Amino acid sequence: MKIHVPRESQAGEKRVALVPDVISKLTRAGFEVSIESSAGLGAGARDKDFVNAGAKVLSPSEAMASLTAADVLLSVQPLNVNQFKSLKRGAITISFLSPTTAASNIDAAAAAGVTAFSLELVPRISRAQSMDALTSQALCAGYRAALVAAELSPRFFPLLMTAAGTVTPANVLVLGAGVAGLQAIATARRLGAVVSAYDVRPSSADEVRSMGATFIDLELEAIEGAGGYAREMSEERAAKQRELLTPFITKSHVLITTAAVPGKPAPRLVTKEMYGAMVEGSVIVDLAAESGGNVEGSKPGEIVVTDNGVRIWGGKDVPSQLPFHASSLYARNVVNLLLLMVKDGALNLDFSDEIIDAAAVTHSGERRKASAK
C-alpha cells in the first residue's frame, strides 16, 4: 500500500497533509509513505525529518511518478484536475473537497475512477471526532482571529491597575459561537478581554457561558438545522437581528465574526451602518471573508480601513497562518480516517460504515454525494 503526499500548490497554503510524527502509525499499518521534497517546509517539517521518520522524500519528477503509482493520495487542498487525471483507477484521495466549491475536481476524480474522500463530509458523530478536520482547522482559525484582533487593536485587552492609572479592559464581541467562535472567545478571555457572543443556535449559550463570556439573547426565533448546524435566515429575521445587534456592536472595541451555514455563502451579519458607529481604532476580524463575508466591505487577505477609522481584517487561509499545529492536527485527522479503511494489512472500503459512506464523494467512476456537510 503506497501513500503519496504531493507538495501543496495553492498560493498561501503552508500546511502539509502528513507531519513526521504520524509516519510511524502508517508504516506500522503496512503503508510505504512518500512525500514530495519541501512539502513540509511551510509547516516546519524538513525533508530530513520525514526521512528520519521513515518516509521517502522525492524530487518533483520522482514525485510525479509516485503520484501515478500511489494507492492513497493525501493533501490539504483538493488535487487539481490534471493530478486526478494521472492517478491510477481505484486510488483513494483524502483532502478538503467541498461539493460546493470543488465541483470540477470532483468530476475529474469520478472520471478517473478514483475514490475521493471529502473531509467536509465526515459526519459530526462522536466516533468521527478524531477525523474531523473542519473542527481542528476552525480551532486554529478562531485562536488566530483573537490574536490578530489583539495585535491590531490600539488598546490593551486586559484590565490593568498601574501606578499611572487603571486601564479598562477591551470589550470583544464574537458573532457565531461554533468551533472557531468558541476558540476566539477562549483566547480573548485568556488575554483578559470582557467578551460577549451571539449565535442563532440557543444550544451555544451554555458553551459561551462556560468560556467565561456573556451570551447575548436577542429573543429571536432559534435557527437550528440538521446535525447541530445553523440554517439560512429569512431576510426579515436577518434585518431584525442586525437591528438588535447594532447597540452591542457600537460599544465593542473588537468584533470577531465567524458565522457560517453549511453549503451556503456566509450570512451577512454586519452592515456599514452598523460599524459606522464604532469608535475610531476599533477592529473587526471577519473569519468568513473568503466565503462571502459576514461583514459588508471585508476583503479576504486585506485590512480595509473605513471612513470612521475602523480596521476590518478579512480572513484568508487563516488556519494556514498557524501552519505547524494546523498541519499536525490535520495529519492526525487524515491518518485516523485512512486507518478506518485498513483491514488485515490491506485497503478495504466498507461502505456500510457511515463515516466511509458519508465522506466518499466519488467511487467506481461515479459521483456519490450532491451536497456539503
Residues that bind ligand NAD (CB under 6 A): 124, 129, 132, 134-135, 138, 175-181, 198-201, 204, 228-230, 233, 258-262, 267, 269
> Cα–Cα distance between 72 and 66 in angstroms, integer?
10
CB of 318 to ligand NAD, least distance (A): 12
CB of 64 to ligand NAD, least distance (A): 36
Q: Are strands 72-74 and 92-95 parallel, antiparallel or unpaired?
A: parallel
CB of 246 to ligand NAD, least distance (A): 14
CB of 255 to ligand NAD, least distance (A): 12
Nearest CB to ligand NAD, comparing residues 92 and 128 = 128
Q: Are 263 and 269 in contact (CB under 8 A)?
A: no
CA nearest neighbour of 199 among 256, 275, 282: 256
Residue facing ligand NAD at closest CB distance: 178
Nearest CB to ligand NAD, comparing residues 124 and 155 = 124
Q: What is the largest CA-CA distance in the chain?
A: 72
Nearest CB to ligand NAD, comparing residues 64 and 205 = 205
CA nearest neighbour of 149 among 198, 179, 190: 190
Nearest CB to ligand NAD, comparing residues 6 and 293 = 293
Nearest CB to ligand NAD, comparing residues 36 and 199 = 199
Through-space distance between the first and last CA atoms of the chain, rounded to whole angstroms? 29
CB of 203 to ligand NAD, least distance (A): 6
CB of 233 to ligand NAD, least distance (A): 5
Query: Where do the DSSP E strands lie in the chain?
Result: 2-5, 32-36, 56-58, 72-74, 92-95, 115-118, 160-162, 165-167, 171-175, 194-198, 214-215, 254-257, 283-286, 303-305, 311-314, 342-343, 346-347, 360-363, 366-367
Nearest CB to ligand NAD, comparing residues 56 and 231 = 231
Residue keyed to cell 426565533: 221
